[in-house]
């Protein structure tokens, strides 16, 4: 029985989830390493007609982040299509998303590319919702992400990809309040609050059951 469960836990969707965790680690390492202090400079490509400078570091990270985001879409689609949804997949999918997105948000905020309030709201919401899922999961099993949360994640991923590929070369945060990349990130932040409220409203009976 345990042998069969193990095989089921490592189906293709779950392997894609593990791949996303690996990509997340690579992205965070690239962004955290102080390349200049090590005497390493990433190439910068200038587009004189547009007066834009593209740092290869952010282009590489943006592409990796996009691939990681694509695995998020694929693993969920394949799991539903082939009826191979597992508790392992439900839990690890959520963890992989948070490592990829929240880790990048912290780094972007520390570099002043986005306001600090964004990761504060998103991460606080995730901690609260994950705590609720742990309580509910004891009796109901692993709780799947709501469609509100999925839309939030998609908007955030799109915003971050655009920020790396287009937003950073355009201008600094202080002069970019109306950029499309930041618009997606702000919408995702608002949806974080909304989806968090919906989770708590849906499972409030579990919260107050022992009071």
Better-scored residue on pLDDT, 170 or 88: 88
| Structural domain boundaries, residue 123 | 2-35+42-207
Q: Is the pLDDT confidence value at 5 over 50? A: no
d(CA 152, CA 135): 23
If you average pLDDT over every residue of the chain, what do you get? Answer: 83
Query: How confident is the model over 115-160, as pLDDT tens digits?
Result: 999 999 999 999 988 888 777 766 665 555 667 778 888 999 999 9
pLDDT at position 211: 52
Query: How confident is the model over 35-92, as pLDDT tens digits?
Result: 989 999 999 888 777 667 788 999 999 999 999 999 988 988 888 888 887 777 777 8
Percent of the chain with pLDDT over 70: 82
CB-CB neighbours of 60 under 10 Å: 15
Question: What does the angle CA 79 – CA 77 – CA 182 come to, to the nearest 5 degrees?
Answer: 130
- Bridge partners of 145, per DSSP, are none
CB-CB neighbours of 51 under 10 Å: 9
d(CA 28, CA 26): 6
pLDDT at position 173: 45
What domain count does the chain have?
1
What is the domain-level CATH number for residue 178?
A: 1.20.120
């Amino acid at each position: 029985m345990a042998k069969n469960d193990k095989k089921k836990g490592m189906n293709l969707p779950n392997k894609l989830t593990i791949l996303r965790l690996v990509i997340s680690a690579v992205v965070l390492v690239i962004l955290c390493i102080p390349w200049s202090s090590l005497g390493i400079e990433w190439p910068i490509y200038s587009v004189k007609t547009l007066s834009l400078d593209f740092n290869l570091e952010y282009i590489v990270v943006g592409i990796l982040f996009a691939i990681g985001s694509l695995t998020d879409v694929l693993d969920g689609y394949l799991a539903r299509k082939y009826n191979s949804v597992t508790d392992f997949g439900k839990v690890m999918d959520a963890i992989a998303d948070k490592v990829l997105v929240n880790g990048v948000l912290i780094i972007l905020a520390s570099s002043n590319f986005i306001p600090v309030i964004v990761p504060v709201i998103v991460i606080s919401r995730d901690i609260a919702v994950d705590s609720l899922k742990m309580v509910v999961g004891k009796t109901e099993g692993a709780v799947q992400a709501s469609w509100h949360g999925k839309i939030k994640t998609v908007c955030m991923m799109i915003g971050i990809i655009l920020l790396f590929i287009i937003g950073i070369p355009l201008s600094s945060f202080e002069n970019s309040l109306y950029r499309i990349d930041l618009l997606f990130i702000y919408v995702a932040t608002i949806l974080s609050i909304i989806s968090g409220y919906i989770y708590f409203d849906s499972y409030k009976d579990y919260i107050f059951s022992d009071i």
